[in-house]
Amino acid sequence: MVDKEHVAQVINDIRISLQSHGGDVKLVEVTEDGTVKVELQGACRGCPMAQMTIRHGVEARLKDVIPEVKEVVAVEPTR
């Protein structure tokens, strides 16, 4: 099982880079099967490069630090 607090720490490190470009990412959920659900915010939301950011930025970093992470998926904003 993936530790949500550990995922949150890694995402906080990633946020610095995204925020420097006007974007952001919010951790929504970590499922029991290792799927991490995030919400893209700011400039990242709706950006044509969003999928690349998820796969090659957020997911790659999380998998590097927490091998139990299976995938990262973007979800629609919760209101």
The CATH number given to whatever domain includes residue 48 is 3.30.300.130
Residue 79 located in a structural domain: no
CA proximity to 28, closest of 20, 40, 38, 18: 38
Query: What is the pLDDT, as a whole number, of residue 77?
Result: 81
User: How many domains does the chain divide into?
Assistant: 1
Let me know if residue 52 belongs to a domain: yes
Q: What is the domain extent for residue 64? A: 4-74
Task: Work out the number of other CB atoms within 10 angstroms of the CB of residue 54.
Answer: 20
Instruction: Write the pLDDT tens digit of every residue in 11-68.
Output: 999 999 999 989 999 999 999 999 999 999 999 888 888 999 999 999 999 999 999 9
pLDDT at residue 79 in the model: 63
Residue 76 has pLDDT above 90, yes or no: no
